[in-house]
Amino acid sequence: MSNHYDSLGVARDATAEEIKKAYRKLARKLHPDVNDAPDAQDRFKAVTHAYEVLSDPQKRRVYDTTGNENGNDNGGGGGNFDGQGFAFQDIFETFFGGSGGGGGRGPASRMRRGQDALITVRIDLKEAVFGVNKKLEIDTAITCGTCEGSCCRPGTSPTTCDVCHGSGQIQRPVRSILGNVMTLATCNSCQGFGTMIIDPCNECMGEGRVRDRRSFTIKVPAGVSTGTRIQLAHQGEAGPAGGPAGDLYVEMKVNNDPNFLREGDDLHATLSVPMTAAALGTELTFETFDGEQPISIKPGAQAGEIINLRSLGVTHLRGFGRGDLKVHIHVETPTKVDAAQEELLKQLAALRGETFTEGKLVSSGGMFAKLRDKLGNL
C-alpha cells in the first residue's frame, strides 16, 4: 500500500491548501492527455486517489488514525473511479482554469447589470462658454414598477426547480479513460437559475424591466467642445431582474455661431470699421457673450489688425479662467459715392500728393514718391 502523503510529495502535517496545490501540480504533469509515459496513467490514478482521501477531512482522519487503505471509501485499492466521490471538479479546474459547467458555484443570478448608453446633445457656443443645465428626455429601460424587478406577478415568487432542486446544476456521468466520472452541467429546466418563474409579471413579461421615456437634467460644464463626453453613472439602461443600471454617456455637439469662431479656448470675431473711422480713429462698442464692450480704434488703423479682449473667450474646461476674444478689424471702403463725396475724396488725394490720371494713380506723396526719388538717384 502506497503512502498517500508520499504520492503527493507533502508532509503529514500539510495544510489542505498545500495538498490541493501539490495535487494540481502533479495532475498537470501526469495526466495521460499530456504525458504518454508508460507509468503516467498509474501514477495519475495514484495521486488522484491520494488527493481524494487527503482532501476529505473525515477520510484523512481515518487514514491518519488507522493507516488502513480500507478506511477509505469502498476499500480504496489505489484507484476506484466509479464516480463516487471522484474529484472531477479539481481535475477540470487544473486543466481548464474553472469547473465543469460552473460546478459547485451555485445557481446563476437573474439579476444583471444594464447596458451602457450613448446619446448626443447639441448646445450653442454661448452655452459651451459658460456651461448650462440641459433637460434631456431619453427612451430607455427602467425597472418595472409593477413587480419592482422581481419578474413575478405581485403576490407570487419564484419556485425552486424540481430538477436541480435549486442548485442550478445537474450531475451527468461521462465515460473517460479513467472510467465513469460525474460532471456538473447547467440545468436545462431552469437555465441554471435554480428557480423558475411560474407566474411572470404581465407588465414586463418576466423581464423585470420595461421601456419608457425618462426625463432628467444634466449639468454641462463650461468649456466643453464637440466630442466631449460626460459620464453619468447608473443613468443607463436598468438591468434585468432589478439589476443595477449601466452608465449613460452624453457626447457634446457645439453648434456653429454666426458671429464667433472658436479656436481652442479663444474666440475670433470681425469688426467692420468705416474707412474714415479707421483713418481718424474712434470709440466703438462691440457685442460679446458678456454684453457690450468698448473698443478703441486708433487713428490709421489697418485692415487685419487684431484687438485682443482678454478673458472674454471660452472658459477653460479643466482649470480656471478663460481664453481671449480676438477682434479682427475690417476697413470698409465705399463702393458707391455721389458727386460731392467724389469731389471731397479728390481734394483729399491732392492734399496727400496723390495724382490720378484717367482713374489711375500715377504719383503719390507716399510710396510712389519714395520709389521715384530712389530711382532718380541711380
What whole-number distance in Å separates Cα of residue 357 and Cα of residue 350? Answer: 12
Q: Is 151 annotated as a binding residue?
A: no
Report the SS3 class of residue 279: helix
Q: Grid coordinates in use for 276?
A: 474714415
* H helices present in the chain, as ranges: 4-8, 16-30, 40-54, 57-66, 88-96, 125-130, 275-280, 339-351, 367-376
Q: Is 144 annotated as a binding residue?
A: yes
Q: Is 147 annotated as a binding residue?
A: yes
Query: What pLDDT, on the 0 to 100 scale, is given for residue 57?
Result: 80
Query: What pLDDT, on the 0 to 100 scale, is given for residue 80?
Result: 38
User: Which DSSP category does 337 fall into?
Assistant: -
- The amino acid at 218: I
Residues of the chain with pLDDT under 70: 1-2, 32-34, 68-105, 176-179, 358-378
4-98 shares its CATH topology with 117-254: no
Per the CB < 8 A criterion, the answer to whether 158 and 152 are in contact is yes
**What is the bridge-based pairing of β-strands 179-186 and 195-196?**
unpaired
What whole-number distance in Å separates Cα of residue 2 and Cα of residue 9? Answer: 12
Per the CB < 8 A criterion, the answer to whether 76 and 164 are in contact is no
Q: Grid coordinates in use for 96?
A: 481548464
Q: Grid coordinates in use for 346?
A: 479728390
Chain segment 152-193, per-residue pLDDT in tens: 999 999 999 999 989 999 888 877 666 677 788 889 899 999
The ranges assigned to domains in the chain are 4-98, 117-254, 261-332, 339-376
Instruction: Tell me whether residue 79 is exposed, middle or buried, using C-beta atoms within 10 angstroms of its C-beta: 0 to 12, 13 to 18, 19 or more.
Output: middle
Query: What pLDDT, on the 0 to 100 scale, is given for residue 5?
Result: 86
The domain defined by 117-254 carries CATH number 3.30.70.260: no
Buried-state track 164-196, b at ≥16 Cβ within 10 A, e below 16: bebbbbbeeeeeeebeebbbbbbbeebebbbbe
Please tell me the pTM assigned to this model: 0.61
Per the CB < 8 A criterion, the answer to whether 300 and 352 are in contact is no
Q: What top-level class would CATH report for the domain 261-332?
A: mainly beta
Query: What pLDDT, on the 0 to 100 scale, is given for residue 286?
Result: 95
Q: Is 190 annotated as a binding residue?
A: yes
CATH architecture of 4-98: Orthogonal Bundle (1.10)
What whole-number distance in Å separates Cα of residue 47 and Cα of residue 78? Answer: 9
Per the CB < 8 A criterion, the answer to whether 79 and 46 are in contact is yes
Query: What pLDDT, on the 0 to 100 scale, is given for residue 377?
Result: 52
Per the CB < 8 A criterion, the answer to whether 47 and 35 are in contact is no
Per the CB < 8 A criterion, the answer to whether 145 and 237 are in contact is no
Termini Cα distance of the chain: 123
Q: Is 152 annotated as a binding residue?
A: no
Per the CB < 8 A criterion, the answer to whether 273 and 298 are in contact is no
Q: How far is CA 221 from the centre of its chain?
A: 19
Query: Which residues have a Cβ under 8 Å from the Cβ of 234 and sit 6 or more positions away?
Result: 244, 245, 246, 247
